[in-house]
Amino acid sequence: MNDPAPGATGVDERRGVFTGLIDLAARRLGGMVLSADDEFFAAKENLLDPIDPRFDADAYGDRGKVMDGWETRRRRDLPGVDRCVIRLGVPGVVDAVVVDTAFFRGNFPDAFELEGCVSEGGPPPEDVWWLSLVGRTSLRGDALQRFEVDQPRRATHVRFSIVPDGGVARLRILGRGLPDLHRAADGDGRLDLAAAVNGGRAVACSDEFFSSPHNLVMVGDARSMADGWETRRRRGPGEDRAVLELATTGTVERLEVDTTHFKGNYPDRIVIEATHQPEASPRDLLGAAAEWVTILPETLLQPHLRHVFDVEEPVEATHLRLRVLPDGGVARLRAFGVVSEAGWRRHGLAVLDVAADALAVAALLTCCGSTRWARELAARRPFGSAERLLRDADEVFAGLDDDDLLEAFSAHPRIGERVAASAETEAAGHTRWSAGEQSGTATAEEDTLAALTEGNRAYEERFGHVFLIRAAGRSAEEMLAALRERLDNDDAAELQVAAEQQRQITVLRLDKLLREPRPATTLTTTDRPGSRP
The DSSP output letter for 226 is: G
Cα 396 from Cα 34, distance rounded (Å):
42
**Integer CA distances (angstroms), 469 to 306, 466, 479, 482, 497, in order:** 57, 10, 7, 8, 9
| Crossing angle between the packed helical segments 402-409 and 371-378, to the nearest 10 degrees | 100
Cα 443 from Cα 452, distance rounded (Å):
14
Give me the amino acid identity at 190.
R
Which residues make Cβ contacts (< 8 Å) with residue 44, sequence separation at least 6? Answer: 33, 35, 36, 70, 84
- Kind of pairing, strands 111-117 and 32-36? unpaired
| Helix or strand holding residue 479 (H, E) | helix 476-486
Among candidate residues 347, 412, 430, 465, the one labeled active-site is 412
Q: Is 347 one of the annotated active-site residues of the chain? A: no
Cα 168 from Cα 162, distance rounded (Å):
9
Q: Is 336 helix (H, G, I), strand (E, B) or coil?
A: strand
Nearest Cα to Cα of residue 226 among 2, 435, 428: 2
Report CA 146 to chain centroid distance, whole Å: 22
> CB burial class (10 A; 0-12, 13-18, 19+) of residue 381?
middle
Q: Is 84 helix (H, G, I), strand (E, B) or coil?
A: strand
Cα 314 from Cα 293, distance rounded (Å):
10
- Kind of pairing, strands 170-177 and 201-205? unpaired
Active site members: 412
